[in-house]
Amino acid sequence: MDRTRRALAAGTVVVITGASSGIGRAVGLAFAHLGARLVLAARSAEALSQVARECTAAHPQAEAVAVPADVTDADAVTGLADTALARYGRVDVWVNAAGVGVLGRLDAVPPADVLRSWEVNVLGTLHGARAALRVMRGQGRGVLIDVSSVLGGAVTAPYTGAYAAAKAALVVLDEVMRQELIISGDHDVAVCTVLPAGVDTPFFQHAANHTGRRVRTLPAVATPERVARAVLHTAARPRARVVVGPGARLLPWARVLAPGLVRGLIRRLTEHRYLGAPGTVPVTTGTLYAPSGATAAVSGDRHAAARTAARRAFALAAAGAVGARFIATRSRTRVRTGSRTRVRTGSRTRVRTGSRTRGRTGSPTHVRIRPRARVGTGSPTLVRLRPRARVRIGSPTRVRMRPHIPARRLSRCR
């Protein structure tokens, strides 16, 4: 966060769509804590005004103006850019975070709902990108950040076809825009795609649901604040694609290495764990056609913070157990070659070499053998330890010294 503070100075001008709820609201508050000047857009005017007040109070230098707008209206989105230019003179960062969800079988979701979701998720983002690039090309710099999703951008799941297709389209659109900016020579204008995994937002409460099934539980989810921090880091140090959330980096690789296994696992989990029984909830259109209003919030009450803390505690406990096991194994390892002589190396490791001489670490001859290593030759090759020589053998090596090898044979190796 300190590096982000240095790179994003107070007074950075940021335009955020979908700022009344979820990730967009968390991003607005995160920028406000750095003293940014914000233009916030969403359909819920009352909720948006509340967010603007929270942002203004977050930092002495923070400013926020609420502009109610529907991103499907190209003229309204262009007005956001005009407001930022009229009030602050420039646009440094533009974040497209507006989005809606649709759950249901593709043959069961009404075409009007599919069209509406694509208008918000794809055309709304495209309107924002066009407005942002117009300003950023003119001023010679800027960062455009589009919030896509791992669902669609990297993996797929049943009952999310309309939503996943829209999020996959954003990945393609951003790649095309990056290529066009390189061709036009606008090297200081960056287009970035942020792909969150499951996030604890009111997404499922706001999504249109044509399955008739209640969303019972979710996979490991990230907090909206975690995604907001990723957006801030991306604005400070632009990267083409940024994945964020538990397992988000592993999912694309797992899909490449074992596509059938990943698809089967997601299919079974979605059908038997994440969704309840059919007929448990009525069919709804969610916030497709109406603003979120009083239900607008940052969190979706999925207890992401507590679940994240539990995952980290489990990981630390597991790491501690493995470390303790390793130390115990190392201190009790013995390497024997069949004689009564012992060479001690500071722990309980014992090396028996076949002579009657007893030595300790610090004596003329030093032998260091790592845990689970075995040294020795049972082959025609002989091993000879010279005075003051140190032998270090890694764990994959195994050498066995037969106790019946005469000392005179060793002398011939000199």
pLDDT the model gives residue 273: 84
* Fold adopted by 2-301: Rossmann fold (3.40.50)
Give which of 38, 41, 18 is closest to 199, Cα–Cα.
Answer: 18
Buried b (16+ CB within 10 A) or exposed e, 388-413: eeebebeeeeebebeeebeeeeeeee
**Pairing mode, strands 208-209 and 102-103:** parallel
3-class DSSP state of 89 = coil
Calpha distance 173→164 (Å, rounded): 14
pLDDT the model gives residue 301: 59
pLDDT the model gives residue 143: 97
pLDDT the model gives residue 204: 85
Model pTM score: 0.71
Strands in 189-196's sheet, in edge-to-edge order, are 63-68, 37-42, 13-17, 93-96, 142-147, 189-196, 241-244
Any idea what DSSP says for residue 386?
P
User: How many of the other CB atoms lie within 10 Å of CB of 359?
Assistant: 17
Give which of 133, 37, 116 is closest to 78, Cα–Cα.
Answer: 133
pLDDT at 261 over 90: no
Token pair for 68: 């109610």
pLDDT the model gives residue 216: 72
Domain ranges of the chain: 2-301, 333-414
* Candidates 88, 163, 274, 289; catalytic one: 163
User: How many of the other CB atoms lie within 10 Å of CB of 113?
Assistant: 19
The region of weakest confidence among 68-82, 84-98, 276-290, 343-357 is 343-357
The region of weakest confidence among 74-88, 183-197, 258-272, 289-303 is 289-303
Calpha distance 330→214 (Å, rounded): 52
Does residue 163 have an active-site annotation? Answer: yes
